[in-house]
Structure 1
Amino acid sequence: MSMQTLGVIIILMGAVDILLANIFPDKNNVYLYKLYYSILGVVIIILGVILELSIISGEVLIILAGILLVVSKVIEYKLFKLK
């Protein structure tokens, strides 16, 4: 699989994340969930576009995705534990 194909798949994942955040409302903190997952989707789309344009390599993308996962889980824990 080429990096451009992987970039398109990542862009679609970000778009689906934004759509799911806005389609299915949650009972508690609706706007907080929508904002969090919409921002996460935009960041994923930006990573996909950067990979699509061959600005970064696949190895750097894996490192950035790992950092994004850790940071998003920390933010999710801190935001949503405040319910």
Structure 2
Amino acid sequence: MLMQTLGAIIILMGAVNILLANIFPDKNNVYLYKLYYSILGIVTIILGVFLELSIISGEILIVLLVVLLIVSKIIKYKLFKLK
């Protein structure tokens, strides 16, 4: 029961991430931000669905979320670093 609730919360976090990505105005390289946050939201929703359906356990989810965080920070740095 607890993992299903956590899965639902993670799905909602992914949906909010996608909604926030589409609030940005269409200027300059904002399309990269929209794409980046939309992909991040979709991956988060997929992980939440896997947890909701008990395909993965909570421990594996934590490891996958840490890997996702590290990879997303690297991509964000490479794409959006200040010049």
TM superposition score normalised by structure 2? 0.92
Q: Which residue of 2 aligns with 1:25?
A: 25
RMSD: 1.6
Matched position secondary structure for 1:23: coil
- Structure 1 residue runs of 5 or longer lacking an equivalent are none
Q: Which residue of 2 aligns with 1:60?
A: 60
- Structure 2 residue runs of 5 or longer lacking an equivalent are none
* 1:25 Cα deviation after fit: 2.8
Give percent identity, aligned residues only.
83
The AA in structure 1 aligned to 2:46 is I
Q: Distance in 2 between matches of 1:29 and 1:80?
A: 9
Q: Which residue of 2 aligns with 1:44?
A: 44
TM superposition score normalised by structure 1? 0.92
The AA in structure 1 aligned to 2:68 is L
Which segment drifts farther, 1-10 or 40-49?
A: 1-10
